[in-house]
Amino acid sequence: MNRTSGVLLSVTSLPSKYGIGCFDKAAYDFVDWLEKAGQKYWQILPLGATSHDGAYDSPYQAYSAFAGNPYFISLDALVEEGVLTQKECDAIDFGTDPQHVDYQALYENRLNLLHKAYERSEIYKNADYQAFCKENFWWLDDYALFMAVKNFFGGAGWNEWPNDIRMHYGFALDYYREKLYFDVEFQKYLQFKFYEQWSKLKKYANDKNIQIVGDMPIYVSADGSDIWAQPEMFQLDENNKPTRIAGCPPDSFSADGQVWGNPLYRWDYHKATGYQWWVTRMWYSFKLYDVVRIDHFRAFDEYFSIPTDTMSAKDGRWEKGPGMDLFHTLRNALGEQAVIAEDLGTMTDGVRRLVKDSGFPNMKVLQFAFNKEDIGGSNE
């Protein structure tokens, strides 16, 4: 077995004069540094599109399991394309503290700049863009409409929308697609530019023998296109509102436990469909990354379920996840893949057995790696 090493660095943490790290020269310079330092991996945090309300700027609360974060689009590259000017970029307020990301400033200013780029791009003439939209319609159409409608209603969560579009009725979808046509196309443009620039950066890294370790959150956001477009996959009531949500029980970190708020999966539904959504999600993840770290792996054995009527982790309970049934299905569909099981947290014999049976390498955090509490990974 060859021992290799790498560095964990979120794209957001790359230096940038535009308010947040992105796919610009600093990212390529970091790859060059990894090569010179003899490193083989660049581990990143999730690349998903984050919200802007100050509470859910976390990459683990993304608007989609498939969409990328438009904040990562390089403005310098758009200047080189001729759809933005350097003067326009320099005039934007991206926040006052270069050590911190001001997500509200990004939302208010960077997206306006990206919209100018879209208006000047004549993207509809681009054959690569047309191919991208055709190949990714299965998630892109719903996501682009979701974001356009969300912006139309002032950023309100989808459960606050009028009933017809909130319930994803076909006639309402047709109405808003026509009404918000150019806003929908703008969202598709953002995803195309994200994918185009990320693919170029990933190839640059791979050509220097640097592999990208991606991060796949186990859950999706309660305010996201996945739950809005496919409510049957989640534990919801007749009004498509979550009945139980994700979190973790009281422990040494929090006496009250944690309430994450993510909707929980209906694992019986996923099993009945041959775990098709999960197969597709993993397949798509390996288009973006060389190695996939699955966050909160222990929830595939047992997941913590909190009732929404109390919103208290103290009222939660453990429920059974899909276990090896899911991973047998993934392996049969996709073959052997480079997966890392993030198995930190409360450990049980069941979690240890699942990690062992899956064959995936797991994790150790130095702070907990050698203590006797069952919070530091599933290895003995």
What average pLDDT score do residues 80-107 get? 91
Average pLDDT over all residues of the chain: 93
Evaluated on CA atoms 226, 285, 279, 294, the torsion sign reads: negative
Q: Distance between CA atoms of 246 and 219, rounded to whole angstroms?
A: 8
pLDDT tens digits for range 27-58 = 999 999 999 999 999 999 999 998 766 555 88
> Residues 123-137: pLDDT tens digits?
999 999 999 999 999
pLDDT digit string, tens, across residues 202-259: 999 999 999 999 999 999 999 999 999 999 999 999 999 999 999 999 887 788 899 9
Which string of b and e fits 269-289 if b means at least 16 CB within 10 Å?
ebeeeebebbbebbebbeebb
- Domains of the chain (ranges; CATH) run 1-216 (3.20.20.80), 230-380 (no CATH)
pTM: 0.94
Confidence band for 144, pLDDT divided at 50, 70 and 90: very high
**What are the distances in angstroms from CA 94 to CA 37, 72, 259?**
32, 13, 31
Question: Which of 280, 295, 289, 226 lies closest to 67 in space, CA to CA?
Answer: 226
Handedness of CA 110, 113, 119, 123 (dihedral sign): negative
- The 10s digit of each residue's pLDDT in 304-326 is 999 999 889 999 999 999 999 99
Residue 380 is predicted with a pLDDT of 47
pLDDT of 104 higher than 80: yes
What are the tens digits of pLDDT across the range 147-158? 999 999 999 999
Instruction: Report whether 318 contacts 267 (CB < 8 A).
Output: no
Kind of pairing between the strands at 211-216 and 244-248: unpaired
Q: Which residues contact 369 (CB under 8 A, 6 or more apart)?
A: 376, 377
* pLDDT-above-70 percentage for the chain: 95
pLDDT tens column, 20-35: 999 999 999 999 999 9
